[in-house]
Amino acid sequence: MDVLLTVITTWLSVNFGLPAAADHPQVQFVDPTQLFAVHTSQLSADEIARMRSDGNTFDDLVAVYDDRSRTIYLPASWSAASPADVSVLVHEMVHHLQRFDDRTFACIEAREKPAYAAQARWLEHLGTSLEQEFDLDPMSLLFLTKCYH
Ligand SMILES: [Zn+2]
C-alpha cells in the first residue's frame, strides 16, 4: 500500500499541483456501516439535514477520509487490482493532500471538485470513466461538487 500511496501522491502533485506530502495517511478497511458512521461523525447535524434535504441519500458513499486522524477508510471489499477501487483511493488521497494545501473551500462540496477531477483523469488513463464505473454523469457530478449556499 505504501508504494501505491507514493505513486498516487507523485501523480497528483505532477498533474494537479497538490503538495507532494511525504506523510502518508493511515488506511483502514471497514464495512459499509462503519463507513457511514465515520462520514456522518465529521458533519454537524445541520449539515447532515441540509445534505439530506438537498437529496443526498449517502447511498453512494464508497470511502471516507477522516481529517482528524488522517485516515482513509476503504470498504473491506477494496482491491488494488480494480481500477475503479484504486480511483477511489486517488480521490481520498486528494482530500489527504488538501490538508497540506493552503487553498480554502467555500463549502464541503467544493473540496470534492478536485477530488472527482483527479479520479476522472485516473480512470481515463485506464480507458474507463466515472460514468461507467460509478454511474456519475456530469449532472450528478455537478450536484456533488457545487456549493448551495
Ligand atoms: Zn470526496
CA of 35 to the centre of ligand 1 (A): 13
Is the distance from CB of 95 to CB of 65 less than 8 angstroms?
A: yes
- Domain housing 131: 2-145
Residues 6+ apart with CB under 8 A from 31: 75, 76
95 Cα to the center of ligand 1, angstroms: 7
Query: 35 near 64, Cβ under 8 Å?
Result: yes
Using the mean position of ligand 1's atoms as its centre, give its distance from the Cα of residue 119 in Å.
10
Which pTM does this prediction carry? 0.91
C-alpha cell at 86: 484504486
Report CA(83)–ligand 1 centroid distance (Å): 17
Query: Rounded to an integer, what distance in angstroms lies between the CA atom of residue 108 and that of residue 11?
Result: 24
105-117 pLDDT, tens per residue? Answer: 998 889 999 999 9
The total of structural domains in the chain comes to 1
Task: Note the pLDDT tens digit of each residue in 50-107.
Answer: 888 887 777 778 999 998 899 999 999 999 999 999 999 999 999 999 999 988 899 8
Q: Answer whether 146's CB lies under 8 Å from 51's CB.
A: no
Could you tell me the distance, in angstroms and rounded to a whole number, from the CA of residue 88 to the centre of ligand 1?
Answer: 9
